[in-house]
Structure 1
Amino acid sequence: MKKGYLILLLLLVSAALIFGGGAKPTPKEVIKLKVSHMWPAGSRWETDVLGPALEDMKKATKGAIGYTFYPVGTLNAPADAYDATARGICDVTFITTTFNPGRFPLTDIFGLPLNWPKSALQPIVGKPVFDQFLYKEYPDVKPLAILPTSFFYLYTTKKVRTLEDMKGLKIRSAGGIGTNVIKALGAEAVFMALPDAYLAMQTGVVDGLITGSDAGVSFKLQEVTKWGVIHNLGSIPIGLLMNKNTWAKIPDQYKDAVAKIGWGEGFYHTKMIDDTRKNDIQTMTAGGANAYYLPPEEVARWEAVLKPMLRNWIADLEAKGLPAKAVAAAYKQSCLANGVPWPYD
């Protein structure tokens, strides 16, 4: 009799475990993504931008897709981001497209100086242009997102107040339209990756750079900057790329969550910029830089020399058989539809 009760008890326990009476097992992490980026370890780019986007993915996949950061070029130099992703050196990488001059020519339009009401509009405005045109420039990888981002200010070791002060200065450029901005203002553009800018300013290789306030603080440029012109001199195209083989290995039920990493990064990035811009400028000034806001009459002069840039960019790329006019029209339409002024002819 006791034996019968014991058998019955075992059957009931087994049934409870099989049909959900027991604790549900923690899902096994089936894929861990190697995520490469150029930012310092533990910087806000990990904690406030890339990290939250990847954590959203991890949560949506119930832990089935994880990640490990490889910061500051551990796996690849910033300029090698595209090729490193295509070859599988990393699974996902942060890319600044202008670090490869001429390779993503249509994407360069995201570097145009625009009077953004807020950074958070940048991924919203950029996505339709990416979806319609720009994804075609990345055939060897799975592009998760490419978008305009940041407001570029001028940081220098020499005093700049007018256009005349720019003449002859050597200014670090991230490439793309940013190079045209520097040249239009009368300075000499010196192409280099952002992690090299600190030493270049410290040693006088360059007299300054244009970059976002968030990037300036991330790389401690306040330590080598004496003067800052707080006027928007453009943006920079950035994004996330994924290796095609890695993408193919992602189970179908998780692909949507993984695909959202790029635009999630864009959301968290622009939110971070809007939330911290004022403090970043204060950090730069506390570090010894003098922040200067151009008066209206000088703003008009600077913008007048920048205005022909889009027309010249279109003409140059159309001559090479690229649909620059259509891309510019799509970008203009998306800007105006989202309340971003369009200052170009």
Structure 2
Amino acid sequence: MAHMTKGLRTGLCAAGLLLASTLAGHAATYSLKIGAGHPAGSVWIGAIRDFFMPQVAERVAKATGDKIVWTEAWGGSVCKLGECLEAVESGLLDIGELQTPFDPAKLLAHNFTYFAPFGTPDPRVAAKAVLDVYEATPALKKVLETRYNQVFLGAGVIGNYGLVTSFKWTDVGDLKGHKIAAAGPNLPWLQGTGVVGVQSNLNEAYTSFQTGVYEGWVMFPDAIVSFKLNEVTKQYVDMDFGCIHTPLLSMNKDTWNDLPPAVQKIFIEVGKEWNAYTGRVTWQKQQDALAKMKELGLDVRQADMATKQAWAKALPNIPKQRFEEINKANLPGEVIYTYIKALKAAGHQFPRDWEAER
């Protein structure tokens, strides 16, 4: 563990953090491995590389004279989707982008945005609401520390979910019998519609469309473009299922403890700013992707309120069900309604009043 002794700073942690032995007053070097299951080209990974990493490095250098050296491990090179929580816990990664939907049991409460379907379509609004929930619910951060040996750094958002399909449809009834994929926590969004839900992930989406494993994806615009799903689909319906918090940044606790307070403070500050940055960049990527899909020949249309209300009415009371499930797991189920209230306070109107039905 890093410490100061007679003017000499030394330290080495199992996660691979190296504090170069230096004389007092001289710069130290912190070598940090950061990674995720998704590839570097993903919008949310881009937000880490373009903002979080350089901002941390620049501010640490300016404030302390110390140096951050990053080793990047994207695209499953250290942890595949669903493995990154454990990779950070064990120290295989110093910092990981965890992707909450791929740890649906361990990060059950952290998936709260999935449990309020038809949330805000604006990622800027969603980002602020998500951060407000974390600030209002300390238990979310405590779970990471006490159960999984890691420290919360930041919570990002991804774009507004819609439905991309290899066939065209007009009414919700047209979907009956078709196989539609979702990441996991949003599979319940398909209940009551008559579709056959299939759990999947973006890394396998293109091939699965080609081979007929499924015919649709509950997905957001920028991922459809970046993963080239427009090549294997025909229509995108902007359903306004809502923007979702899936990117979750955390640091191995042993690594964290080896950092001096001044450096820890910078990580927390940049993590909060990264939250707002993901909202802004995702908003722009979302607009660009919608335009790009049209340009590439995909039939893009906006669902009207009547369609959204019909879909929402067909669903079970997901917020209430998940609230009870989370509480039974000794986790903070109230996070769902805290999020719903935050969106309402920001002016969002749900097609179904989940709060009134709790």
In the TM superposition, 1:295-306 aligns within 5 A as: 295-306=304-315
1:133-176, CA deviations, whole angstroms, 9 ceiling, x for partnerless residues? Answer: 32233231112123554211111112222111221222221111
Distance 1:236 1:110 in 2: 6
- Report the secondary structure of 1:303's partner residue: helix
The offset of 1:322, in angstroms, is 4.5
1:278-304, CA deviations, whole angstroms, 9 ceiling, x for partnerless residues? Answer: 220122233332112223432321232
- Report the secondary structure of 2:83's partner residue: helix
Distance 2:123 2:295 in 1: 24
- Counterpart position of 1:100: 103
1:235-294, CA deviations, whole angstroms, 9 ceiling, x for partnerless residues? Answer: 433211211111111122111111234333322221112112222012223333211222
Q: 1:277 to 1:147 in 2, by over 3 A?
A: closer
Q: 1:136 to 1:180 in 2, by over 3 A?
A: farther
In the TM superposition, 1:244-255 aligns within 5 A as: 244-255=253-264
Paired AA for residue 340 in structure 1: H
Distance 1:72 1:334 in 2: 33
Identity of aligned residues (%): 24
Q: Which has the higher helix share?
A: 1
The structure 1 residue matched to 2:141, chosen from 131, 135, 140, is 135
Structure having the higher Rg: 1
In the TM superposition, 1:269-280 aligns within 5 A as: 269-280=278-289
The structure 2 residue matched to 1:182, chosen from 190, 196, 206, is 190
- Counterpart position of 2:290: 281
- Counterpart position of 1:109: 112
- Counterpart position of 1:60: 59
Contact 2:32 2:71 in 1 (8 A): yes
Distance 2:329 2:262 in 1: 41
Paired AA for residue 135 in structure 1: K
Distance 1:297 1:330 in 2: 26
The offset of 1:44, in angstroms, is 4.6
- Report the secondary structure of 1:77's partner residue: coil
Contact 2:167 2:215 in 1 (8 A): yes
Q: Which has the higher strand share?
A: 2
Q: 1:34 to 1:293 in 2, by over 3 A?
A: same
Distance 1:53 1:64 in 2: 15
In the TM superposition, 1:37-76 aligns within 5 A as: 37-42=36-41, 44-62=43-61, 64-76=67-79
Q: 1:41 to 1:108 in 2, by over 3 A?
A: closer
- Counterpart position of 2:88: 85
Distance 2:270 2:130 in 1: 15
Distance 1:83 1:115 in 2: 30
- Report the secondary structure of 1:134's partner residue: helix
- Counterpart position of 1:124: 128
1:286-336, CA deviations, whole angstroms, 9 ceiling, x for partnerless residues? Answer: 333211222343232123224722223224444555442x32332233223
The offset of 1:117, in angstroms, is 6.0
The structure 2 residue matched to 1:330, chosen from 338, 353, 356, is 338
The offset of 1:57, in angstroms, is 0.8
- Counterpart position of 1:21: none
Paired AA for residue 288 in structure 1: G
- Counterpart position of 1:191: 199
TM-score, with length taken from structure 1: 0.83
Contact 1:158 1:227 in 2 (8 A): yes
Q: 1:179 to 1:337 in 2, by over 3 A?
A: same
Gaps of 5+ in 2: 1-25
